[in-house]
Structure 1
């Protein structure tokens, strides 16, 4: 990666940190690093951090097709399920899930990592779920379909049952709930009219972003 690309990434990091500081989640401190001072952003609101950890761990340890309410934002939040999916995928591809799994045993941690990998595999393709053709969402395998990062093809095993039953049921439930969120609430019918087109473009963009995240290792 070129120097300019690294500078761009640092700029993005600082903008994200500033946004979290403005929301009161982080605070800004100056720390001395040998010859110069540098701004750091430690956590200020530990309640928010704790809630995020609860969302992630609950989603990754669910054993049924019902999406646990503890894994989602508060009632009334738009697209709560796809938000939870994006949170898990972003944390997984950023390699920070270890910080959330401190109280888990070895097998539970490995299962949670595998679940995150499978979720990424299913939602980093468009239509969602096309990494496993028999899930019933979308028509066959898409050219955007991409495996997760830990094991190639992990996502495509969901529909065939080679993943654990609890994991498979949980991810099928996520796909079903996200499909419901994709349904237009106005504009008449399912997928008809301009509203339906806008919804499809928005969710397809999510799939594209998650595809890029799934390839971060190779890009860097």
Structure 2
């Protein structure tokens, strides 16, 4: 008499058909290790009531990664500075920010220890912008854009910083590499800020069509970024207090802040953080930005004693951060490649050192040139 129950099929186990094969004298099918290995790894945790909870260990590693990093990435901070608080969109005439955001992706990966300059003694024969970078840690960061760029760099041949920024911006005539372009970067960053509670989503009517906009929901986040910018560019003694956006335990806090200021300058959104200053104070702040670019657009850094009295303690603070990261010199060398071509200086800052970009790229990044009303993601 049949009990009406059938044996449950396990991973790679045999079903009823396999049982019939066994009864006919043929050997039953057994699960192969390769079939099990191909699936995602699963761990179990026992609770007080004896139940087991399944979880993916990768979720735990991503959570640990996020706890060590600031709440906002460099890309998100620069985008937030450029957004109009109430309207929730960027200036349609600012095409610089698209290229700058791709540069910030490279910087952020360098700060997180995912990429570094290729360990090759002959690299010093080439300018910083032409030196190849390589992936040194392919662990996912939990940030979609960073992980997408990291996977491309891992699967591709080694290329220079300038080449990667061009490819991610879609600036290439090579049809075989057009797939490297990162699409809808601004919109994806804005949606990430919505998920983090910094922005909210609304719909606005622009003449004949509706468009999603992202006004600021948490003004404290943007004000903290503005305050940090003004601190670096106007104070004689720079002191960055700890916050969720710049934790005290964060590595390279001052270098990261300088990179953010320079990236905002290259993206032509820096003046949004200086709007509350008078005319002369703004001019001094922009002059200080030029000095920062000149001093930190080389590796090793060439910071000299300050002449205008602003940021007198910055050289010492940066020197302490560099000395604490002696084992990360190749990452810091990549920092000198952070895209920041800012007039009158044709330099860029990128992660942990700064690079001289080709004249064609300088022309694209120069905020002083007349911009066509094209909109890029």
What SS does structure 1 have at the residue aligned with 2:336?
helix
**1:169: Cα distance to partner?**
2.8
Structure number with greater Rg is: 2
In the superposition, relative to structure 1, how do residues 210 and 173 fare at CA in structure 2: closer, same or farther (>3 Å)? farther
Q: Is the 8 A contact 1:55 1:71 kept in 2?
A: no
Matched, 1:62 2:235: yes
What SS does structure 1 have at the residue aligned with 2:315?
helix
Q: Is the 8 A contact 1:27 1:44 kept in 2?
A: yes
* Structure 2 segments unaligned to the other structure (5+ residues): 1-94, 96-168, 172-180, 343-347, 349-356, 366-377
Deviations 1:167-208 (A, max 9, x none): 37344234324323423xxxxxxxxxxxx1xx1222222211
Q: 1:219 aligns with which of 353, 361, 364?
A: 364
Cα distance in 2 between the residues matched to 1:173 and 1:89: 19
Matched, 1:22 2:195: yes
Q: 1:204 aligns with which of 333, 350, 364?
A: 333
Equivalent runs, 1:18-167 vs 2, <5 Å: 18-64=191-237, 67-70=238-241, 73-129=246-302, 135=303, 158=304, 163-164=307-308, 166-167=309-310
Q: Is the 8 A contact 2:232 2:311 kept in 1?
A: no
TM-score (norm 2): 0.40
Matched, 1:178 2:321: yes
Deviations 1:15-73 (A, max 9, x none): 22222222111222222222222222221110001111111101111214xx3134982
Which one has more relative contact order, counting CA pairs under 8 Å at least 6 apart? Answer: 2
What SS does structure 2 have at the residue aligned with 1:209?
coil
Runs of 4+ displaced beyond 3 Å: 210-217
In the superposition, relative to structure 1, how do residues 4 and 204 fare at CA in structure 2: closer, same or farther (>3 Å)? closer
Q: Is the 8 A contact 2:235 2:311 kept in 1?
A: no
Aligned residues: 174
Cα distance in 2 between the residues matched to 1:18 and 1:56: 24
TM-score (norm 1): 0.66
Q: Is the 8 A contact 1:125 1:211 kept in 2?
A: no
Cα distance in 2 between the residues matched to 1:219 and 1:68: 34
Deviations 1:122-170 (A, max 9, x none): 22322222xxxxx5xxxxxxxxxxxxxxxxxxxxxx45x6x42x13734
**1:212: Cα distance to partner?**
6.0
Structure number with the higher helix fraction is: 1
Cα distance in 1 between the residues matched to 2:341 and 2:228: 23
Residue 140 of structure 1 is matched in structure 2 by none
Question: C-alpha root-mean-square deviation of aligned residues, in Å?
Answer: 3.2
Q: Is the 8 A contact 2:204 2:211 kept in 1?
A: yes
What SS does structure 1 have at the residue aligned with 2:188?
helix
**1:209: Cα distance to partner?**
2.0
What SS does structure 2 have at the residue aligned with 1:39?
strand
Cα distance in 2 between the residues matched to 1:27 and 1:175: 36
Structure number with the higher strand fraction is: 2
What SS does structure 1 have at the residue aligned with 2:215?
coil
